[in-house]
Amino acid sequence: MKRLLTIFLSLCCLSAIAQTEVKKVAILETVDKMGNVPYGVLLQVRSSLTYAISSNAGYEGYDRVDMAAITGEQNFQRTGMVSDEQIKRLGEMTGAAYVLIAEAALYDDQNIIIAAKILDVETGGVMSSTPPAVAPKDPIKMAEACNRISNILLENKTAVPTSVNSSASPQPNNINATPQPTNTNPLINQSRGVTTTAMGLPYKVLTQAPNYANPNKAYIHIRRPFQYAGSGIKHFLEVSGTNLGNFATGSCLCLVVTPGYIDIKDYVGNGSYKKVKERNNFINMSLEVEAGKKYYIKLDEALNRITLESETEANKYHVQITYDYNN
């Protein structure tokens, strides 16, 4: 009888240990496709997510991961691209059960946008993801935002049958569906982008190209090619009086606007948007856009002007972010 009791207690202990097994989550470098988020902010996002994941019972955040050293992927921080094979190799070398990929984009001088997802090492599938959320650069508020993001990721960890040769940007199921919030954070919603009109800005940010399906809208592609402009030079893109932030070299975006008059300015110089604008050094273009049409614009540093280009030339470049205007 004592022997049976001992075996039973041992099994209970083993069961308890299994139930409290800590699962490691490898947290990769924060992706910055536009290349305009300061390194310190990217580091802050990663460390805040690591701490937040580790604060959840049963999980350990692990950020001592060097993608270049482990997988040979040199451009991960700019592309967010990772294959199933690379995910599995990460798991083997770090002992992680999951991999967390977060992407950040500049929102304004005080805030950034963060989107994140968790991948299963064994299957390579997306276990959970969050829609883009606005997060302050302030360290304390950033930590709070990352804590909310980690809670959503770990609470909604349900396998999704999908390939992971993708970036950190979430893929919406239905762009026309009315978003149904599942949390109390007003800055996180379940749409395909971040709705900003409630915060006084006349647009919402989409982390992918538009589908061009609305015949009542016009679509303006803007790109900044790789041209030398000097060390520390910034290009603040302003559309109809609204600052969209520093437009990094090699970037390509799309404006979704209603027909009418659109003014595009590119303020060039060193320093903050306010200081650069005070110097009044800019190139600009005014367009009268028509519904259902696409326009392609290049910021030409060499010629110090904004020029129109052909659709064939423009389509060589991938739209990284979209601003859907309520102009």
Per-residue pLDDT reduced to its tens digit, 114-129: 888 898 888 888 888 8
Going from the C-alpha of 257 to that of each of 3, 195, 210, 284, 289, the distances in angstroms are 77, 15, 11, 17, 8
Q: Does residue 188 belong to any structural domain of this protein?
A: no
Q: Does residue 52 belong to any structural domain of this protein?
A: yes
Q: Does residue 183 belong to any structural domain of this protein?
A: no
| Residue numbers of the domain that contains 240 | 195-325
- Write down which residue in 155, 186, 210 finishes a domain: 155
* Nearest residue to 225 via CA among 289, 280, 323, 296: 296
Token pair, residue 215, equals: 């015949």
Q: How many CB atoms within 10 Å of residue 217?
A: 19
What pLDDT, on a 0 to 100 scale, did the predictor assign at position 157? 52
Does residue 149 sit in the same domain as residue 98? Answer: yes
What pLDDT, on a 0 to 100 scale, did the predictor assign at position 11? 55
- Write down which residue in 155, 183, 213 finishes a domain: 155
What pLDDT, on a 0 to 100 scale, did the predictor assign at position 35? 81
Does residue 82 sit in the same domain as residue 204? Answer: no
The domain tally of the chain equals 2
Query: Which CATH number belongs to the domain containing residue 85 in this structure?
Result: 3.40.50.10070
Q: Does residue 255 belong to any structural domain of this protein?
A: yes
What pLDDT, on a 0 to 100 scale, did the predictor assign at position 98? 92
Does residue 142 sit in the same domain as residue 246? Answer: no
What pLDDT, on a 0 to 100 scale, did the predictor assign at position 191? 36
Does residue 141 sit in the same domain as residue 236? Answer: no
The whole-angstrom separation of Cα 172 and Cα 191 is 7
Does residue 145 sit in the same domain as residue 253? Answer: no
Does residue 224 sit in the same domain as residue 280? Answer: yes
Does residue 312 sit in the same domain as residue 206? Answer: yes
Q: Contact at 8 Å (CB) between 46 and 38? A: no
Q: Does residue 56 belong to any structural domain of this protein?
A: yes
Q: Does residue 45 belong to any structural domain of this protein?
A: yes
Going from the C-alpha of 191 to that of each of 15, 144, 187, 201, 315, the distances in angstroms are 41, 21, 11, 17, 26
Does residue 204 sit in the same domain as residue 137? Answer: no
Does residue 144 sit in the same domain as residue 218? Answer: no
Q: Does residue 173 belong to any structural domain of this protein?
A: no
Query: Which CATH number belongs to the domain containing residue 316 in this structure?
Result: 2.60.40
What pLDDT, on a 0 to 100 scale, did the predictor assign at position 162? 32
Does residue 247 sit in the same domain as residue 312? Answer: yes
Does residue 120 sit in the same domain as residue 222? Answer: no
Give tens-digit pLDDT for 219-264. Answer: 999 988 876 555 567 788 888 888 888 887 778 899 999 999 888 9
Does residue 201 sit in the same domain as residue 298? Answer: yes
Please name every residue paired with 160 in a beta bridge, in sequence order, or none if there are none. Answer: 126
* Counts of helices then strands in the chain (DSSP H, E): 8, 17
Token pair, residue 270, equals: 């060193």
- Write down which residue in 94, 128, 155 finishes a domain: 155
The whole-angstrom separation of Cα 149 and Cα 154 is 9
Residues of the chain with pLDDT under 50: 15-18, 158-193, 195-199
Q: Does residue 186 belong to any structural domain of this protein?
A: no
In angstroms, the first-to-last Cα distance of the chain is 80
